[in-house]
Each structure stands twice: as structure tokens, then as C-alpha cells.
């Protein structure tokens, strides 16, 4: 097990408290700190004492990844592990499936920066407010029925035309946001749209938010974003694990590129009845959030008096989030991470604390 040094990304929506507090640094930080990256993504690879992780994988893919993962995914770490700290809302977005990502990237489509898909899971470390997946259209129609400015999308929702309602809202005049806020929204929905519109005035993504499940995750609860799942993070802190891609189709709530036609082609227009993913026990002290993805698996170890063991094969990253945890002899405190190559064998954790582990799915 080797100490892994990650990279903090200072996006404007980040917190000046969350990551600094986790890592025991002075609070507030000098600027916003949005994401703490752990992995080998070429945009910001992590480092071991002996060099950059991406370069070490390129030099010895079988030794670092294992024979099976190297054959399946090539000479690259197939997952990216993050701690996300959102003080402001993030963009309304979705990710493509693997076939579309490969095809669009080959065509040179400007929205696609690589040929991979990007399913992802987020587990809350503190209460985390999110929008994830479409609410039942009939329920949404009932909530919005008292808003005169939304009469047309409400009629579409009642007819079961979710795509039509989304397209209407994303292509409406920006003045519709103020018209909707002028009256008729239930209190919870008015507060949500008001918060988003304050950060992004006139942005139609604030209205599309009305169609989504509005969830506040408690620590340990998770949401999973497969291909086509429309979502946005509003505020909070969590651990995020994803396939190592940066393909994002945005529909609003961002100064970055928005491509509504391409987003509409990517979206899955099906209601998501329960967006919350719950963990399942694997062994004493170890739990897993099961998701249908080959590139990654996310575990949590709660370590007290009895050693906790993870037998997952391939490359693994461990991140301590509280207390102190020793992983195969490497001592980790909050916000510190370690990397185990495929040749390392099982990870055995001792101490008193909590840690999250990223691995390739078995």
C-alpha cells in the first residue's frame, strides 16, 4: 500500500470549508475547493512517491491493474474517485451511454472529450441536496397545476409526454422563470426554483428542476447516475466514484457549454421512483453500494476493534474520512489516501475510523 496524493480542483461552486476541514487545514481556505481527485485521469492524475499514477500504469499496466483489468480496459485506471464539496448548485446534466460516447467522439462532436461512458455514484458524507431522475409525470403535473405560466407543460405531463415537457421548458423564453416565480408554486418548489434562479438568473434549468426528484441524502445514503439520468447537485459534501470519463451533456445552471438538442437525445425519459441507493453488507465492518457497472465498485469500511478485510482484485484506492485507519500498514488520517496495485493482495484495515474504498467490480 502506497500513499496517494490527490489534486484539489478550485471550481467556483466549491466550498471554502468542507475539504479543508476534512483534511485538517486552516478554514476558510484561500479560495473555493470543489473536488478532490484521486485517480489517474489525464486532466489531474494523482501521484505516488515513485511517480505519477497514470505514468506508472502506462509503464506496467499488468503489474498495476492486473491481467484481467488491463485486457478489459486497456492501460488506464477505469475509475475516478472524488470527494465533492458543493457550496453552489452544479450544472443540470446527463451522461451518454458507451455506444453513443464512442460514436460521437469518433465523429469529432465537440461535446465529447473521450470515447467512454460516465456512470457515477455519490454517497453523502454530510446532508447532500440533489436533483436526480424524473419524478412521476402525473405527480409533477399535480404539483404544478396551480401555476398559470406552466399550463402547457402541465398538459404534456398529464398526457405522459415527459420529453415534450422537458423540451418545452428548455427552449422557452428566459422570462418564463420570472413568470413562474410570480405565483402558484408550492412552497418547496418555489424555494428550489428561487435558489437556482438567484444563482443563475433567467436560466431555464431552474424550471426543469421542477420535473426531477428533489432529494436530501443523509450520510451514508447514495444516488446512482446511469447513462441518460438527468441530475444536478445543489449543495453538500460526498464521496463520488465514476467511470474515468469527462463526457457531460449540460442543459443549464452553468456558464459552460449547453447543448439542448444533444442532451435531449441522451436523456432517458422514464420516471425514477426511488433515486436512493442503499448499501448492503459484504462482511463484518464492510458494506457495498451495488450498481450495474463494470468499471467500479464502492465500499465503506467501519473499523473498530476487529480488522476489516477487502478481497476485491485489481487496483484499489482507499480514502480515510474519519478517525485513523491503517491499511496494510499505511497509516491514514481524515482526507488521506492510499493506493494498492493488483499485486498487493487483500487490504486489511485496523484502527478506529471510517474509510471508503474504490475498486473494479468483481
Q: How far is CA 50 from the centre of its chain?
A: 29
Class of residue 220 by CB neighbours under 10 A (exposed 0-12, middle 13-18, buried 19+): middle
Residue 120 annotated as binding?
yes
Q: Is 125 in contact with 239 (CB distance < 8 Å)? A: yes
Q: Is 178 in contact with 195 (CB distance < 8 Å)? A: no
Q: Would you call 250 a catalytic residue per the annotation? A: yes
Q: Determine the Cα–Cα distance for residues 79 and 356; give it in Å rounded to an integer.
A: 14
Helix (H) or strand (E) holding 159: none
Q: Residue 1's closest CA among 260, 338, 272, 354?
A: 338
Strand partners, 356: 300, 319
Tally Cβ neighbours within 10 Å of residue 182.
11
Residue 218 annotated as binding?
no
Residue 231 annotated as binding?
yes
Class of residue 259 by CB neighbours under 10 A (exposed 0-12, middle 13-18, buried 19+): middle
Reduced to 3 states (helix: H, G, I; strand: E, B; else coil), residue 152 is helix
Strand partners, 300: 287, 356
CA 77 to each of CA 169, 176, 279: distance values in angstroms, whole numbers, following the listed order: 39, 44, 24
Strand partners, 130: 215, 233
Class of residue 284 by CB neighbours under 10 A (exposed 0-12, middle 13-18, buried 19+): exposed
Q: Which of 100, 104, 135, 250 is catalytic?
A: 250
Residue 352 annotated as binding?
no
Q: Determine the Cα–Cα distance for residues 358 and 179; give it in Å rounded to an integer.
A: 45
Q: Is 56 in contact with 50 (CB distance < 8 Å)? A: yes
Q: Which residues are annotated as a binding site?
A: 93, 95, 120, 231
The annotation places the binding site for Zn(2+) at 93, 95, 120, 231
What amino acid positions are annotated as catalytic residues? Answer: 250
Amino acid at each position: 500500500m502506497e500513499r496517494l496524493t490527490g489534486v484539489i480542483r478550485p471550481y467556483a461552486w466549491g466550498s471554502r470549508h468542507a475539504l479543508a476541514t476534512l483534511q485538517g487545514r486552516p478554514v476558510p481556505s484561500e479560495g473555493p475547493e470543489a473536488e478532490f481527485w484521486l485517480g489517474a485521469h489525464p486532466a489531474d492524475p494523482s501521484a505516488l512517491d515513485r511517480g505519477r499514477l497514470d505514468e506508472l500504469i502506462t509503464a506496467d499496466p499488468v503489474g498495476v491493474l492486473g491481467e484481467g483489468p488491463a485486457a478489459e480496459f486497456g492501460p488506464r485506471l477505469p475509475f475516478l474517485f472524488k470527494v465533492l464539496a458543493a457550496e453552489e448548485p452544479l450544472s443540470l446534466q446527463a451522461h451518454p451511454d458507451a455506444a453513443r460516447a464512442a460514436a460521437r467522439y469518433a465523429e469529432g462532436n465537440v461535446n465529447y472529450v473521450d470515447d467512454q461512458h460516465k456512470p457515477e455514484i455519490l454517497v453523502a458524507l454530510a446532508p447532500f441536496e440533489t436533483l436526480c431522475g424524473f419524478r412521476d409525470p402525473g405527480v409533477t403535473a399535480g404539483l404544478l397545476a396551480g401555476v398559470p405560466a406552466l399550463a402547457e407543460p402541465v398538459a404534456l405531463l398529464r398526457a405522459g409526454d415527459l420529453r415534450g415537457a422537458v423540451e418545452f421548458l428548455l427552449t422557452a423564453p428566459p422570462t418564463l422563470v420570472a413568470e413562474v416565480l410570480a405565483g402558484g408554486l408550492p412552497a418547496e418548489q418555489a424555494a428550489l426554483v428561487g435558489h437556482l434562479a438567484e444563482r443563475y438568473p433567467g436560466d431555464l434549468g431552474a424550471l426543469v428542476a421542477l420535473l426531477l426528484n428533489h432529494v436530501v441524502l443523509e450520510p451514508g445514503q447514495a444516488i446512482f447516475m446511469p447513462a441518460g439520468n438527468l441530475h444536478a447537485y445543489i449543495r453538500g459534501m460526498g464521496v463520488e466514484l465514476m467511470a474515468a470519463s469527462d463526457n457531460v451533456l449540460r442543459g443549464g445552471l452553468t456558464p459552460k457549454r449547453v447543448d439542448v438538442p444533444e442532451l435531449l437525445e441522451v436523456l432517458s425519459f422514464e420516471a425514477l421512483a426511488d433515486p436512493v441507493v442503499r448499501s448492503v453488507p459484504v462482511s463484518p465492518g464492510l458494506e457495498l453500494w451495488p450498481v450495474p457497472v463494470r468499471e467500479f465498485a464502492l465500499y465503506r469500511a467501519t473499523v473498530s476493534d476487529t480488522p476489516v478485510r477487502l478481497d476485491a482484485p485489481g487496483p484499489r484506492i482507499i480514502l480515510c474520512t474519519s478517525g485513523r485507519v491503517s491499511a496494510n500498514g499505511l497509516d491514514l488520517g481524515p482526507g488521506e489516501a492510499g493506493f494498492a496495485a493488483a499485486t498487493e493482495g487483500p487490504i486489511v484495515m485496523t484502527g478506529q475510523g471510517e474509510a471508503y474504498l474504490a475498486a473494479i467490480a468483481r
